[in-house]
Amino acid sequence: MLKKAVEEILVRQIEREAYSSNLYLSMASWAETNGLGGVSEWMYAQAEEEKIHLLKFMKYVNERGGKAVIPAVAQPPADFENVKDLYEKTLEHEQFVTESINEIVAVCLEEKDFTTHNWIQWFVTEQIEEEASVSGIIDKLKLLDGHNLYMFDRDVAGMRGSVPGSQQ
């Protein structure tokens, strides 16, 4: 049985995962309408992954005696300056999600909910991989300095999770 504080922070995370999925859908649409098919493919895949995360949180909350609540989700931004801006905003968002996951860990420890603490460790590892993946893409964009985006766009869809030491 989930303690109330743990249930509340997990339900909050459901909303954050839903927003994440919508944010990446918005980014995918921006990329697609700007002729960046590879970037849009990468973002569509990210959006789907966030939806899976949302479902994991929902199922866990319900299985542990809580009640997953489906939230209203704020509209994400629809326009971005360029591809580098898009991925920098992606990294900022992933860092926000990492902090949110860390807050869940802290509540689990405060409440002595070691079952949820153990369960949430998958997300801790996932966030390390997410941040490393996006940082690697930003590094590649810095090398390009705005040039030869054609080749970058062609290759980026295959970069999901392709970080040295990645466990995907």
Q: Which pLDDT tens digit goes with each residue over 103-121?
A: 999 999 999 999 999 999 9
Binding residues for Fe cation: 17, 50, 53, 94, 127
* Phi-psi region at 42: left, alpha or beta (left = phi > 0; alpha = psi -120 to 50): alpha
Q: What angle do CA 43, 88, 141 make, to 5 degrees?
A: 85
Binding residues: 17, 50, 53, 94, 127
Q: pLDDT tens, 50-63?
A: 999 999 999 999 99
> Exposed, middle or buried by CB within 10 Å (0-12, 13-18, 19+), for 35?
exposed
Domains and CATH numbers, the chain: 4-159 (1.20.1260.10)
Spatial contact of 112 and 61, defined as CB atoms under 8 Å apart: no
pLDDT at 161: 54
**Band of pLDDT at residue 145, cut at 50, 70 and 90:** confident
Higher pLDDT, 144 or 86: 86
pLDDT at 165: 36
pTM exceeding the 0.85 threshold for the entire prediction: yes
* Residues near 82 by beta carbon (within 8 Å), at least 6 away in sequence: 146
